Chains A and B, each alone.
Chain A
Amino acid sequence: MEDPAEIKPALKEAIDTTEKGQPYLLEIIAKQGYDFSRYQEHTS
């Protein structure tokens, strides 16, 4: 899946499939995301 508008219908199909007892793989062509929610200096 490459278009954000496809997300919702794809999720519906995926959930419906799992309810029938079968696994579903949803592959999303995603951005090279480097944005992370970090507000605390990592101390470990």
Chain B
Amino acid sequence: MRAPGRTARHPKQERDKNMNGADVIAEILKREGTEFLACYPRNALIDACAAIDVRPILCRQERVGVGMADGFSRIRRGRQNGVFAAQHGPGIENAFPGVAQAYSENVPLLVIPAGFDGPRQHIRPTFRATEVYRPVTKWSAMAHGVQELPDLMRRAYQAMRTGKGGPVLVENPNAVFAADFDGEVAYTPVPVLKMAPDPELVARAVEMLLAAKNPVLWAGQGVHYAEASDRLAALAELIPAPVACTNPGKSAIAESHPLALGASTRSQPKMFAEFMARADLVLAVGSSLTRTSFGPGVPAGKKIIHSTNEPADINKDYAVDLGLPGDAGLVLDALIVEVGRQKTNAGNSALETLSDEIAAVKGAWREEWAKHLESDEVPINQYRVLDELMRAVDRHETIVTHDSGSPREQTLPFWETTRAGSYMGWGKSTQLGYGLGIIMGAKLAAPEKLCINIMGDCSFGMTGMDMETASRNGIGILTVVFNNAVMACERDVLVTATEKYGAMNVGGNYALVA
């Protein structure tokens, strides 16, 4: 990887030829630390990247290619960003689900479609990606000329590396890709920018925290992007307070930590529910507190302190008692210092008592579920598989994700992480099959890790052909498919359709397909 800011000569410059638009973008991607280009042709950027050793990885379906860029961005915590390139028209049309999912998950990735040339732009049925994608991107723009490319790319990276994450899109008409670029590429990589909290608000937050009888820390994925798991645990121990994680926030604290309550989707560990019920105050950090069908809600009657790096999320879905905007890591740093200043009674007995209470509820929960976790039933009980999988792997060196539906409901509560940041939770939107692309991206970001995705047969039906992408490119993921030939989560709403027409009875031999 070329060091940031260095302007080694492009291969074309070595031959005294002009770079074109595609070369310029490839060069900028390389300076930004891009390690691969997830893609599907035809897009001039693919060969331009290959020429300067940015590996193109062709997927089988564009939404999975976007997923690969997504998973990479997550595991690299937004310091480097996954990139996906597609053809104009059908290619970028096909990518929409992947980008929409990434938008709902606040993932900072870059999409670079080719585009129709100017004279065709406003003739029906031309698909104008910049406009169509606007509702599902943090920022989108079209290049009108080759000389503006460095400016456009700088804006794209600035959008990705500031504040709440989200996909960004830079559309390039084919004529712009092909046009000769005049001069050197003046581009310096964009740093990640963070926002520190207001010290007065920090002081008020700590007053409220220390006055609460049963405070709970609520951790979202902002803690992952801030790489602040150590500080989350430190604050929890200092107060002391238990830590509940959202779906995407799962493993913001290792679930083997004595103060961890686990994470929640519609399902959750018993500890999560009990301690949330007892809470009188919730401090949400790195969470948008967005109401979603696939994540936990804050029960009514709790005081809420809401800290997030997106001020517009404060008071969006919950009326809060105190808003505390800022980067999760900088907020946690400030809270720890302030607790140290305000808290007068030192001593570990409260911490030990709390840890023992959590352990007791956790033990009772595990005992209640032992019949599933140790089940010898045939067909196989999914919980038995999860239990065996946890024993078989080194969870410290494993990254896991679920897929939509029953696998999410089963895996999220029970997969006990032993290392912070080792689980990719998701599901504000919840497209079947999304897990396959993101686990491939995770493997590309962390090749030394065992990367596992757990999906149902319906999810596999949506994106399973991209196992071929993993095989062709040597992306060594482990995919577990629970084939129960039914859409378990839909049984309540497809009663008549199933009775009369067998609507819910899906099936297949997926191992043969793979």
Contact = CB atoms under 8 A, between A and B. Distances in A.
Q: Majority SS of interface residues in chain A?
A: loop
B179 interface: no
A30 B450 contact: no
Contact of A37 (B296, B414, B511, B514): B414
Interface stretch (B59-67, B227-235, B271-279): B271-279
A40 B375 contact: no
B87 interface: no
B386 to A, nearest CB: 10
Contacts of B380: 1-4, 7, 28-31
Contact of A43 (B300, B381, B382, B480): B300
B476 A22 contact: yes
Contacts of B471: 22-23
Contacts of A38: 266-268
Interface string B263-301: 010111110111011000000000000011101111110
B484 A30 contact: yes
Contact of A23 (B274, B369, B379, B467): B467
A44 B414 contact: no
B471 to A, nearest CB: 6
B369 A37 contact: yes
Given A20-B476, A23-B471, A37-B369, A44 B486 contact: no
Contacts of B264: 40
B272 to A, nearest CB: 7
A18 B474 CA distance: 9
Interface stretch (B146-154, B214-222, B339-347, B388-396): B388-396
Most chain B C-beta atoms within 10 Å of own C-beta, residue among A15, A21, A31:
A31
Interface in B437-494: 450-451, 467, 470-471, 474-486, 488, 491
Interface stretch (B119-127, B251-259, B405-413): B405-413
Contact of B388 (A8, A19, A37, A42): A8
Contact of B293 (A7, A30, A44): A44
Contacts of B293: 42, 44
A31 to B, nearest CB: 4
Contacts of B277: 40
A7 B476 contact: no
Interface residues of B, number: 67
Nearest to B391: A8
A3 B478 contact: no
A15 B269 CA distance: 27
Interface string A5-44: 0011001101101111111111111111111111111111
Contact of B392 (A11, A22, A27, A35): A11
A14 B488 CA distance: 26
Nearest to A39: B273
B379 A31 contact: yes
A23 B372 contact: no
Contacts of A17: 476
Interface string B175-208: 0000000000000000000000000000000000
Contact of A25 (B269, B372, B379, B479): B479
B381 A31 contact: yes
A3 B377 CA distance: 8
Given A2-B380, A26-B480, A33-B484, 18 more contacts: A2-B379, A7-B384, A15-B392, A15-B478, A18-B450, A18-B451, A18-B476, A22-B476, A25-B467, A28-B480, A36-B410, A37-B365, A37-B409, A37-B414, A40-B296, A40-B299, A41-B299, A43-B297
18 contacts: A2-B379, A4-B380, A17-B476, A18-B477, A23-B479, A24-B476, A25-B511, A31-B377, A31-B381, A31-B382, A32-B484, A32-B485, A34-B488, A39-B272, A39-B274, A40-B264, A40-B296, A40-B299
Which 4 pairs across A and B sit closest by C-beta, in order of nearness?
A: A43-B297, A39-B273, A40-B273, A23-B470
